[in-house]
Amino acid sequence: MDQRLSLITLGVADLARARTFYEQGLGWTPRQALPEVVFYQLPGLGLALFPAEELARDVGEPLAAPGGAITLALNGRSRDEVDAVFAQAVAAGARPVKAPGAVFWGGYSGYFADPDGHLWEVAHNPNCEITPRGETLFAAP
């Protein structure tokens, strides 16, 4: 199998509230919006918002609480971009978890939780390139 990720689906308590956060708060544009699910095209993969109860029904078992042992990350091109995205997310209703700052691995990052508790890291990694298309390329060892 190819080494790739196709889609991340976030279970949300209130689809309308989640859409408002991602679209009005973060400025994202849906690629496809259906009454029961919304898809956003990201560079190389997609993100879907799906009501948590319906997602659990589709999976066939209860879902773990959001914000568990996973974080989603948005890499910025600079520390200033990290600060701006973090402030924009908090202004849109995200809960600040850790304010952006210098981190042990040489970068700059902070964390917020979206309105459903999904943890997002916003970071500047000096060892990554963000292409004009928005793809994150990691430096070769």
113 strand-pairing partners: 95, 119
Instruction: Please give the mean pLDDT across all residues of the chain.
Output: 93
- HEC string of 34-47 equals CCCCEEEEECCEEE
Three-state DSSP at 14 gives coil
| CATH number of the structural domain 7-138 | 3.10.180.10
**In the predicted model, what is the mean pLDDT of residues 106-110?**
96
Q: Is residue 111 pLDDT above 90, yes or no?
A: yes
Q: Is residue 21 pLDDT above 90, yes or no?
A: yes
pLDDT tens, residue by residue, 47-87: 999 999 999 999 998 888 777 778 999 999 999 999 999 99
Three-state DSSP at 19 gives helix
Please answer whether residues 124 and 78 qualify as being in contact, where contact means their C-beta atoms are separated by less than 8 angstroms: yes
Q: Is residue 107 pLDDT above 90, yes or no?
A: yes
Residue-wise burial string across 17-27, b where 16 or more C-beta atoms lie within 10 A, e elsewhere: ebbebbbebbe
Please answer whether residues 103 and 109 qualify as being in contact, where contact means their C-beta atoms are separated by less than 8 angstroms: yes
